[in-house]
Amino acid sequence: MNKRKLVIIGNGMVGHRFSEKLVEFGGSDKFEITVLGEEPRRAYDRVHLSEYFSNRSAEDLYLCQPDWYRANGIRLLLSEPAVSLDSVRRIVTTSAGTELPFDELIFATGSAPFVPNLEGIDKKGIFVYRTIEDLENILTYGKGIRKAAVMGGGLLGLEAAKALLDLGKETHVVEFAERLMPRQLDESASSILRSRIEELGVRIHLETQTEKALGESKLEGLQFKDGSSLDVEMLVVSAGIRPRDELAKRSGIQTGERGGILIDDHLKTNVYGIYAIGEVALHKGFVYGLVAPGYEMAETLAYNLCSPINAPKSYTGSDLSTKLKLIGVDVASFGDGLGQSEHIPIVFKNPRSGVYKKLVISPDGKTLLGGILVGDVKSYGNLLSLYLNRIELPSEPETLIVGSVSAENLFGADNLPDDAKICSCNNVSKGDILKAIREKNCSDVQSLKECSKAGTGCGGCLPQVNSLLKTELKAQGKVISEHLCEHFKFSRQELFQVIKVKGLKSYADVLHSEGSGDGCEICKPAVASILASTWNEPILKHREIQDTNDKFLANIQKGGTYSVVPRIPGGEITPENLIRIGEVAKKYDLYCKITGGQRIDLLGAKLDDLPSIWEDLVKYGFESGHAYGKAMRTVKSCVGSTWCRYGVQDSTAFAIRIEERYRGIRAPHKMKSAVSGCIRECAEARGKDFGIIATEKGWNLYVGGNGGVNPKHAILLAEDLDEDTCIRYIDRFIMFYIRTADRLMRTSTWLEQLEGGIEYLKDVIINDRLGINSQLEGEMDRLVDTYVCEWKDVVENPEKRDKFKHFINSESSDPTVRFQEERGQKRPAERRTHRTEAVLK
């Protein structure tokens, strides 16, 4: 049987996916396949291109092994793009002069960055952001510069800005539109995103049109149309894309007025046997700029070319849902998030915490049409399933983003039909995932990703993929993997024990001994937490793997400033110390606020002022309140029997004892406590991770509560305890939680998922069911005995203190920090004043 000749022009992500699907559908037996690649390397992952800045390794980005093409009967020609096409003679010619006859030809040439025709755009120091070679050029040139800008505030522009920020450059984003990511986010969501990005040090310039690149032979600045200018030494252009359709145009293939090869629902062009897929294709007037639609096109075309001609699949368009982490900020959008069709919007907005959630539902309230999430995207995967599979919404759909109900609780992946789409990036259904588990023996998330491709795009579906994997393995009677991430083949609990037993004291030691690769944003902070919980060394010893707040021992706030919260055990403070805090606040012009945990929050501190503020507070006897850490925070109290006529025990004294014992202890998540002096419960002890309520006979101890979006009442663990016994039980409870909880798991969730629940916990804590109580108490005593105030540690260490500068080579403060007056104090200045709101329109 003579094979038909098939040529694929382009070896990017979509071209490679088409090759994979050809092989999967038996195309290697039907076609003689040749792939033309313009770049000098095989196909790689452009979606995660920014990771190249972190590890400098192209190997981590490649989509296949070097011998994959040969092993599957595919001829790959690298650095040999097509330069001419004769559609009549059916021959394509490459840059090397190779003539390739074809029966079928596929354009997968993708797109090129749009570079505006500005005066001086050809100067040294101006780059695009598209290939590994582009990144290598940016890295090389960037070694000698300090200030850089990105032209474009879309997805790729913000990715480029993150890369520049990671390189330690003063980074600016210049966007012509009135908001960031205008195609994905509405004005409110974009405003939240802007605030979060600016807090990290990136300067945003909206509604700004660049007119000229300044300088002689190299870039020295940008001039804008309004007459202003910006002093920068590097510019990365990310102002959009243009389809690579030049060869098609020259060959008589029909293209759109604004570019793109015209295709029908079967991916056919106007020339028989020639097709187009991906970002070069124009389908129903739309060029898709995401990889997921290209994957869907590739699969459809591969199926049609390899299957009987009388049963072709149709491509009817793609969903543009996506989940990203942009400069450390989680962002997701799906469906009609902008509300361009008739709809009812449901919005929750909290600028203070940087969270925005919007659901767009049908006028009858039954169907989810789209949504936008910024800051908190945990519900993205399940909301996407509701949207993609047109599942009827609950009677009060607002509970999906505000309140105690979640999409996961109502519509978990286990309850979806097998044809329900789980991964929109790769068009993977629930049935495809179950088939991979059952037929290909996938027993962990990594192997399941490799077999099914689910979760290899934006990653938003991974919680559902993991849930399906666990459920199916459990049904098969197999052991369920609880690996922390792909770099550690241990659960968080197992890794805790390994670190403790082996005495590992740094992330490098842990990774070398027990892990692989370079680590990720999941395992780095998790290991940092374990190290802190085990050895209780100053957190800045592991600064490079901490979350932002821990790195600076303060919570980063709006406008690029930080808040300082000194510890006030039990909420008790002398008049003298109140005055001293006031003096410090006045000296550094800080905004003052009494927190819900009976402490004083000093806001508006500049990064370089933090050590000086701490030094003054430490001098007066104050210490860090750990408001920034996944650690023990506050112990709230009422005045108790000392002052209250209803009080039956001295709640203030006991609260002080508890807070001074557990201060600064790191855990899988933050912990809060409270002590109430009587059953009237003025300290709200039952809304805490552990709470204590006085009785006539002693103290009742409650555990596993929390406030927040999903409040939980704590459950009674033991009653009528004396103080020492209560302390012992708390010691055991905290250490057992630290040992056994998963990463970022509150005590309430941990207790809910603990097999046997509160009765089992009572048996462990009170009856020593596991025989470990003496160990738990010893571990707690060691943490208590080794406590060090992290602020004082910085104040007394010049090397650590030197890290708290806005500029590496200058003593200057951040010049972009601005304030405005409100109610007699300062607050961050902003273009629009927002209110925290939950709106049902």
Q: Are 812 and 806 in contact (CB under 8 A)?
A: yes
Q: What strand order describes the sheet that includes 74-77?
A: 74-77, 31-36, 4-9, 104-107, 274-276
For residue 788, which of 663, 670, 672, 668 has the smallest C-alpha distance?
663
DSSP H or E segment with residue 555: strand 555-556
For residue 324, which of 206, 454, 162, 530 has the smallest C-alpha distance?
162
- Cα 799 from Cα 813, distance rounded (Å): 19
DSSP 285-298: TB---SHHHHHHHH
| Cβ neighbours for 344, distance < 8 A, ≥ 6 positions apart | 360, 361, 362, 363, 365, 841
Q: Which CATH number belongs to the domain containing residue 199 in this structure?
A: 3.50.50.60
Residues 95 and 33 placed together within one structural domain of the fold: yes
| 182-220 core/surface letters (b: 16 or more CB in 10 A; e: else) | bebbbebbbbbbbbbbbbbbbbbbbebebbebbbeeebb
CB atoms inside a 10 Å sphere around CB 311 = 8
In a domain, 608, yes or no: no
Consult the annotation and say whether 461 binds a ligand.
no
In a domain, 433, yes or no: yes
In a domain, 827, yes or no: no
Residues 512 and 525 placed together within one structural domain of the fold: yes
* pLDDT on residue 840: 35
Residues 256 and 271 placed together within one structural domain of the fold: yes
Q: Which CATH number belongs to the domain containing residue 452 in this structure?
A: 1.10.10.1100
Domain count for the chain: 5
- Cα 817 from Cα 802, distance rounded (Å): 21
E-strand stretches of 588-736: 591-594, 600-605, 632-637, 671-676, 690-694, 699-703, 715-721
For residue 249, which of 478, 84, 375 has the smallest C-alpha distance?
84
Residues 104 and 204 placed together within one structural domain of the fold: no
Consult the annotation and say whether 425 binds a ligand.
no
Q: Is 714 helix (H, G, I), strand (E, B) or coil?
A: coil
Residues 17 and 32 placed together within one structural domain of the fold: yes
User: φ and ψ at 230, to 5 degrees?
Assistant: -135, 130
Residue that finishes a domain, picked among 481, 508, 537: 481
Q: Which residues of the chain have pLDDT under 70?
A: 1, 54-56, 308-310, 325, 403-415, 458-460, 479-481, 542-548, 559, 708-710, 806-810, 830-841
In a domain, 817, yes or no: no
In a domain, 835, yes or no: no
Could you report the per-residue pLDDT of 761-805, keeping only the tens digit for each? Answer: 999 999 999 999 999 999 999 999 999 999 999 999 988 888 887
Q: Are 692 and 701 in contact (CB under 8 A)?
A: yes
Instruction: Tell me the two tokens of residue 829.
Output: 């200045």
Consult the annotation and say whether 485 binds a ligand.
no
Residues 149 and 67 placed together within one structural domain of the fold: no
Residues 178 and 209 placed together within one structural domain of the fold: yes
Could you report the per-residue pLDDT of 677-711, keeping only the tens digit for each? Answer: 999 999 999 999 999 999 999 999 999 998 766 67
* pLDDT on residue 406: 45
Residues 258 and 281 placed together within one structural domain of the fold: yes
> What number of residues does the chain have?
841
Residues 429 and 462 placed together within one structural domain of the fold: yes
* pLDDT on residue 394: 82
Residues 167 and 296 placed together within one structural domain of the fold: no
Consult the annotation and say whether 451 binds a ligand.
no
Instruction: Tell me the two tokens of residue 778.
Output: 């010893």
Domain carrying residue 506:
495-551
Residues 474 and 620 placed together within one structural domain of the fold: no
In a domain, 454, yes or no: yes
Q: Which residue bears the tokens 């032209």?
A: 151
In a domain, 203, yes or no: yes
Q: Is 200 helix (H, G, I), strand (E, B) or coil?
A: coil
Q: Cα angle vertex 563, ends 617, 784, to 5°?
A: 60
* pLDDT on residue 754: 84
Residue that finishes a domain, picked among 251, 282, 306: 306
Residues 134 and 187 placed together within one structural domain of the fold: yes
In a domain, 740, yes or no: yes
* pLDDT on residue 373: 92
For residue 124, which of 110, 106, 144 has the smallest C-alpha distance?
144
Its pTM surpasses 0.85: no
- CA 521 → CA 8, 156, 518, 528, 543, distances in Å? 37, 20, 10, 11, 14
For residue 69, which of 35, 25, 114 has the smallest C-alpha distance?
35
What is the 3-class SS of 738-789, one letter each residue?
HHHCCCCCCHHHHHHHCCCHHHHHHHHHCCCCCCCHHHHHHHHHHHHHCCCC
Residue that finishes a domain, picked among 448, 481, 514: 481
